Amino acid sequence: MPNNRNTENITEHPWLDAEDWEIALQPYAGDPDAALVLGVNFAVLQSHIAEPDKINEAIEELDRAMSALFLHTHFHKISYVLFRQMAEGKLSFDQQTMLKTLGIKF
């Protein structure tokens, strides 16, 4: 089996490498204005992380980014499907159990 540094040296919190960033930022290749805005946002985060009294602000900014990013994922679509199934009374027993485990009350 070939050596693969990405799968054989699993760490609890792996760092992103250059290839990870290239993949993540590929959608910006055709939109230089959006790429610039993202670069400014990264610079703001970097400055907040550098100042100990602004680390909580940086964490809040990352939380907002994750919330916005969520809307562009398949998770968002799946959540809506589950919502509709629940509203229509069509959740399976397994789905109900899973949602209760996640703390969803209905």
User: Which residue range(s) make up the domain with 101?
Assistant: 73-106
The reported pLDDT for the residue numbered 93 is 94
The reported pLDDT for the residue numbered 3 is 54
Q: Are 68 and 51 in contact (CB under 8 A)?
A: no
Q: Are residues 48 and 66 in the same domain?
A: yes
Specify the 3-state DSSP secondary structure of 51: coil
The runs of H, that is alpha helices, within 17-92 are: 18-25, 32-50, 55-70, 74-87
Report pLDDT digits (tens) over 83-97. Answer: 999 999 999 999 999
Q: Are residues 79 and 92 in the same domain?
A: yes
Question: 81 pLDDT exceeds 60?
Answer: yes
CA nearest to 44, candidates 27, 24, 23, 65: 65
The reported pLDDT for the residue numbered 1 is 45
Query: 24 in a domain, yes or no?
Result: no
Query: 12 in a domain, yes or no?
Result: no
Report pLDDT digits (tens) over 31-47. Answer: 999 999 999 999 999 99
Compute the distance between CA of residue 25 and CA of residue 37 in angstroms, rounded to an integer: 12
Query: 16 in a domain, yes or no?
Result: no
Q: Are residues 89 and 106 in the same domain?
A: yes
Task: Give me the percent of the chain exceeding a pLDDT of 70.
Answer: 88
